[in-house]
Chain A
Amino acid sequence: MSECMFVATRKGLFTITRSGKRWSIAQTNFLADNCSLVMHDPRDGTMLVALGHGHFGCKLHRSRDGGASWQECGAPIYPEKPDDYEEKPNPMSDKVSPWNTELIWELQPGGPDESGVYWCGTLPGGLFRSDDGGDSWELNRTLWDDPRRPEWFGGGYDYPGIHSVCVDPRDSAHLLVGVSCGGVWRTTDSGASWECNGTGMRAEYLPEGQAYHPVTQDPHILVRCHDAPDHLWVQHHNGIFRSIDNAKTWQEITDVKPSTFGFAVAVHPADPNTAWFVPAVKDEHRIPVDGKLVVTRTRDGGETFEQLTNGLPQEHAYDLVFRHALDIDETGDTLAFGSTTGSLWVSPNQGDAWQCVSAHLPPIYCVRFVKG
């Protein structure tokens, strides 16, 4: 069972440790700073935290001693926009995406054979790669220059963004990238070329005839089963989707109480049929159904779901769980999630019962267990 997790919030980074059965706050860093993301590298324990300074832009800090000390490292910076570059305005907003890091929205280690490689997803849609442990970053120009990128558009933000990078554990050059709103993209050559051809996702927010267009889907988050890498789950703007063929096709799962809307999903690391979600009413009403906070769990690949409530507030709870704020540890037994209202829960038994670690944290963006 894991003994440590990191929680990135609107007002700082929190280290949460376990002593016996109890989890508690052991350390704070970057207090009052906007921590949009935290990453722990299972290969060597390196940590990265993304700070979104309102005045000073997006920065990255790195720790190589488990979070005890931090140093600022390189941040993803868009290259100078060529004078003759024709940036097409987005068809939805009529806005042109800036060549500027507006938000660091995803940090992932490269494959096990790629020491020092990290991937970083950003708003307004640039994917960056570092080959030197985060000292420097380079924009993936093939994806940025793809003629289909102007079809992407913002969901909750003004601009589209990359929030999910799933490296295939069998082949480090094979990545899946989730974009809101831009679908799921695949490269099999470390980003030299890209395709977006997954079928089956449905965008209810588009006119009839365009609903299944892969490039305008809004996957809120994309996760891969570690031991069965062809199996993926997506919490999508329009519901829950599952793939069992490495994102070539997607099956929509519709009959889930109390709702299929949400942002987060976690999949069991060894059992691809077991996954957890934290639902909200729907896109226009982003609060728990009837004010009751529940986690839904399937153990049969989405055929049936249970509603898990033991230890969660069942009246006047208005916690929303963002896309990176639900995680599962390597054993597949311990889950944790944090909410927009600053509550953090952990379960030692796959969600059967939950312990509230704190109800007074700042709004929570990201929860990550230490792995490796």
Chain B
Amino acid sequence: MEAYFAANPSARGYVLDDQGGLRKHMVIFVNGRQITDRIGLSDSVPQDGLVEVIQALSGG
């Protein structure tokens, strides 16, 4: 994620909140499993793991 944000600085604030946690209407999957640490983003990512960043279905 840090590498992606380094290349796309404006994306950081769209995915993470002011304190670096995952925005409440965003979700991240690692190899198809939802991460458990939305605040510190400490879930491990295996070599060549697939990280998917998805917006929730909420809205209005």
Footprint of B on A, CB under 8 Å?
53-57, 59, 72, 75, 77-81, 98-101
Contacts and interface: CB of A to CB of B under 8 A. Distances in A.
Nearest to B59: A54
Contacts of B14: 53, 55-57
Nearest to A34: B60
Contacts of A59: 13
Given A75-B13, A77-B13, A57 B19 contact: no
If over half of B's interface residues share one DSSP class (helix, strand or loop), that class is named, otherwise mixed; here it is: loop
A117 to B, nearest CB: 22
Contacts of B59: 54-55
B55 interface: yes
B60 A77 contact: no
A55 B19 contact: no
A77 B56 CA distance: 22
B13 A57 contact: yes
B18 A77 contact: yes
A105 to B, nearest CB: 16
Given A55-B56, A56-B14, A78 B19 contact: yes
A100 B18 contact: yes
Contacts of B26: 55-56
Interface in B9-52: 10, 13-15, 17-20, 23, 25-26
A54 B58 contact: yes
A59 B18 CA distance: 12
Q: Sort A-B residue pairs by CB-CB distance and give the 9 closest, nearest first.
A: A56-B14, A55-B25, A78-B18, A100-B18, A55-B55, A100-B17, A77-B18, A54-B59, A99-B19
A81 B55 contact: no
A78 B13 CA distance: 11
A81 to B, nearest CB: 6
A101 B18 contact: yes
Contacts of B20: 80
Contact of B60 (A54, A81, A99): A54
A80 B20 CA distance: 8
Contacts of A57: 13-14, 17, 23
A123 B17 CA distance: 14
Contacts of A100: 17-19
A72 B17 CA distance: 17
A55 B23 contact: yes
Contacts of A81: 19
Contacts of A80: 19-20
Contacts of B10: 72
A100 B26 CA distance: 16
A253 B19 CA distance: 43
Nearest to A59: B13
A99 B18 contact: yes
Nearest to B24: A55
Given A55-B25, A57-B13, A100-B18, 11 more contacts: A55-B26, A55-B55, A55-B56, A55-B59, A56-B15, A56-B26, A59-B13, A81-B19, A98-B19, A99-B18, A100-B17
Contacts of B19: 78, 80-81, 98-100
From B17, B18, B25, name the one whose CB has the most chain A CB atoms within 10 angstroms. B18
Nearest to B13: A57
Contacts of A78: 18-19
6 contacts: A54-B25, A55-B25, A55-B26, A55-B59, A56-B26, A79-B18
